[in-house]
Amino acid sequence: MEHNYPIKRIIDDEGLLLDASFEKQIDEQLVKDLYYHMLRVRAFDRKAINLQRQGRLGTYAPFEGQEAAQVGSALALNADDWVFPTYRDHGVTITFGKSMVQTFLYWNGRVEGCVVPPDLNIFPPAVPIATQIPHAAGAAWAEKRRGTKNVAIAYFGDGATSEGDFHEGLNFASVFKVPVVFFNQNNGYAISVPTEKQMNSATIAQKSVSYGMPGLRIDGNDCFVVYFETKKAFDHARAGNGPTLIEAVTWRKGAHTTADDPSKYRTEKQGKNFADPLARLELFMKNYGYWDDEWVQATKEKTSSEVETAVEEMEKFPPPNVEDVFNHVYAEMPAQLAEQKEAYLSHLGRQ
């Protein structure tokens, strides 16, 4: 099946166009937008890891290496579309408009981190694997019934395709032809389990056949193919043609989370064949006359300043309130949970 789903690319590892026709479709604004956002979220990601190591942030899920997949797909969205992220897709949500401050607060255990501006349709990050997939299908169905052209996108890893939610979400979306794109970032591992040990399929894209929807594989480290193919899938959905399954083949450079040690299950040589998405874009910019030393330097300074300012704002907030664990589970707290809360608070008072 793998030969039926070849990995689509627009630029190679050296930043050279593989199809000259795309030179007319790629303009300066798109290049600058991709570079700015990819640089920005990488700076955020590295800062978050440093903050966690310093004890200034809670456990964190890094995404370096997946910037092209996240930024390229997010830039293809319209403002009124829906985003259903996992716990690793903060590059998506920041690009789509969620503030860095709120994203830092989420990883610092504050409930404000799950609250997004009222003009953005972003669900809270899904920590349970694949639960966001049926939600995305449901939101897309609602938009279809309302008669809008809005679409939803559900992000998930390769491990999610082994969950029942994956089947239910794709099956529902296919039957009702809802406007949703299922965007898989296949980064090679479901936590510590390699893809080949958690599924027998040669590709994730081929699973689309079971649901009668288009499926394709793309180079998840090529920001241009991510942008154009995701946009094409959105256009397909907006036209009333139903869902698409996209498998973006990429690589998680670092640990699953900051509580993980990837050296226990990955060798140092693994992942070396994946070109860094940001470095590849920089090569493209130099190859095709988009590179401007002054603009690049100013952009680096701007993104660095944005991150540092967000950290300062995040650290102005008081520590998380432990009562939030109890207060934000049910609209009306059941008696059993109220007893647990009382017992816990009593325990704290004795210390």
Structure tokens at 237: 């959905």
Q: Active-site residue 189, yes or no?
A: no
* Parallel, antiparallel or unpaired: strands 193-194 and 189-190: antiparallel
Q: Which of 88, 90, 256, 280 is catalytic?
A: 256
- What six digits make up the tokens of 270? 């693994």
Q: What contacts 315, CB < 8 A, 6 or more positions away?
A: 56
Q: Contact 84/152 with Cβ under 8 angstroms?
A: yes
> What is d(CA 32, CA 338) in angstroms, rounded to the nearest whole number?
52
> Which residue in the list 265, 266, 288, 344 is annotated as catalytic?
265
In the chain, the amino acid numbered 15 is G
265: annotated active-site residue: yes
* Beta-strand pair 180-186/121-122: unpaired
CA 44 to CA 50: how far, in whole Å? 10
Single-letter amino acid code for the residue at 272: K
Q: Is 347 an active-site residue?
A: no
Q: Annotated catalytic residue: which of 217, 236, 252, 280? A: 252
| Contact present, 67 and 281 (Cβ < 8 Å) | no
Are the CB atoms for 208 and 173 separated by under 8 Å?
no
Q: Do residues 95 and 39 lie in contact, with contact meaning Cβ atoms separated by under 8 Å?
A: no
Shortest CA distance to 216 belongs to which of 225, 177, 89, 30? 225
Whole-angstrom CA distances from 46 to 17, 43, 350 are 29, 5, 39
Q: Mind telling me the catalytic residues? A: 252, 256, 265
